[in-house]
Each structure stands twice: as structure tokens, then as C-alpha cells.
Structure 1
Amino acid sequence: MLVTLLIFGLFLPAASPSMCYQCTSELALINWSRYGLPPTHGDSMMADDACLDESSPLGHVPCSAPCMTINITAVGGKHNGKVIGVVRDCQTYFRNPKSLPEGTDRICRHSVRDTVRNHRINVTFCYCKGYLCNGKTEQVQLRRLAQRRYPRLPDDSRTSRPIPLGFAMLAISWLVG
């Protein structure tokens, strides 16, 4: 019975491809309009800095459009490369694209901006297709993208990496079975 449940869990994401993580960090919510996001949706979101933490569980919503992540990082100064804000949600509430180009699972665009206090930030908008594709693994990809764009950032690729859930469940079912 346990083995059957574990194997079923491997296929659960494939059965529900239209879910996105939904959260926003406090600084992203406070600076909502400065990042060019629609004020009506930002007013209804609650800030949760767990959105910044890859290991924290996140809320999720059904979505008929691409999932999106907005990643705000500091540029220059003592906080260079530090993630200072994150928004994850369904694309239906935000700008284009409402769909991704054929054959594309993920697209990102970058915009370096100056804040009111003359701090530079890099705002990366990423859109993806797939079950909870705007989640934890995307954060690692965003860091790598930022490192290619700003090579002075420390290399996080040398840190330990989590085992993918599907592989862990397969290994457990093999050990139990």
C-alpha cells in the first residue's frame, strides 16, 4: 500500500499541470508600484518573507496561464547580488505574456532600475509552464542567471543541493519494496 502511494506521488504533478506558487516578500509588497506591478492585485496580497526562503513551504493557486516569478536583487554596493524581494504568482494578474512561445517552457527578462534612494536593483521577470514551476528550483536558476549577468557574485553552486522529490520517492519505494 505504501509503495503504491509513493509511486502515485511521482505522477501527481503531471496530473495537475496548472498550479503556481503564490507569495510575496515584504519588501516586494512595500515597493509594489515601483516594480511596475498593478496596484489592485498587490493590495490584496499578504507579505510573507518565507517567499524568500527556498526551504519554506509556499501557498499555491490554480492557474490557466504561465506561472511567474519576479526576483529583485541589489546591484552594486555591499549587498550586491542579494535577493531583496520575490513575488510568485499566476500570470493572469500581471503583464504579458499570457502564453509562452511554442516550444518554450521558460522565459525571463531583466530590468536594472534605480530606486528613489539611488540604489540600483535588478528586477527579473520569469514566466514558466508546468506544475509549480515558479518554485524552489527556479530560485537556484535565477541565482545562476544573476551570476552570469554579474560575475562578481559569490558562487552558490558549490553548496549542497537537495535531492529531487521524485528521485527521493523512487529510492524510498525501492528500499521498502
Structure 2
Amino acid sequence: MSQELYDLITGVAADSPWLVQALFEVGTNGAILALMALSALLLWRARNDRLVLVSILLTAVATVLAYLLSELLKVLVTQDRPCRGSAVALEQCPPVGDWSFPSNHTVIATTIAVGLLTLWRRHPGTAGLALLLGAFAGFSRVFVGVHYPHDVLAGIGLGTVAALAVVLPLRERVPSYSRSSR
């Protein structure tokens, strides 16, 4: 089923106008950069809000942990990339040995997006934008032809679990800093 969905999406990609193709090619990395910029902006704008500060810093920790776990999974699963057998990939196929499962781009984007989503009560617009960027990052990996849909779904799962497992339980345990406590 994943192969059929991959073929459908990459077929649509191949038939898309060059501007749409360019948007997805740039957006596959651009969405992650936008999520990082969104995190930095939120960090700067809410620099006096302990919950926001701690949540964003823990999101960074969760992102590194999720990335390392995804690299471990890649080595354990060793699934070849779908672009090796496809003539319609928009992006150059990564070298042999750069495994497909799970999608690192999706893991990183999802971890950041879910980390920002934990702040939805304070910053609903930011959380909504983060989810859209995360979803775009994952879908774009299939659209440009370098991942199967199940690679992206695994990345979403891993990123979500990492963000929720690190950010929610730990942000309440970080002591608050005050000048009077020095």
C-alpha cells in the first residue's frame, strides 16, 4: 500500500507545474528552518515566560534525542530509498547507505512542531503554524520522491513520542530562576 501511495504522490509531483515542484524542493528543508525560526521568535518574544522558555529548550533536547533514535532505527532497519527504483524523484537520491526508514526530516519537523504545540494555550497561532509546517515537511519528503509514506508516518510517530515524553513531564520539574534566590 505504501508503494502505491508513493507512486501516486510522485506521479502527481512529476505532472505538477515547475513552480509547485520548486516549492516542494525548497520546502522540504525550508519547513524545518521555518520551524527553527518560529521557535527562536517565540523564545525571544516570550523570554520572560518560564514555561515557554523551558518548553522550547526541552523541545531542542527532544529533537536531538529523536534524531539520534531515528539514526539508530535507520541502521537497524536498512530500508533502501524508493528513489532508487523510481525515475520521477524531484530531488537527487541520497547515496547508497543513507537509509530511508524513518524520515529524519519528518522526525525533526514533528518533534519541533509537537514541542510548540504543547504551548497552544499561550500561543495558538504559533502552534497551528507549527503543525502546518511539520505536516508540509513530512509530505514533501514523499512528494520529492526520497521517502515512502510509511517512512514519514514512522517519523511522525517517533517525533511525537519524543516531544511529548521530554517536554510535558520535564518542564514542570525545571526549577524557576529568580534573582532573589541567588
Where on the TM-score scale, by shorter chain, does this alignment land: which range? under 0.3
**More strand by proportion, 1 or 2?**
1
**More helix by proportion, 1 or 2?**
2
Indicate the structure whose relative CO is greater, using CA pairs within 8 Å and at least 6 residues apart.
Answer: 2
Give the TM-score normalised by the residue count of structure 1.
Answer: 0.25
Give the TM-score normalised by the residue count of structure 2.
Answer: 0.25
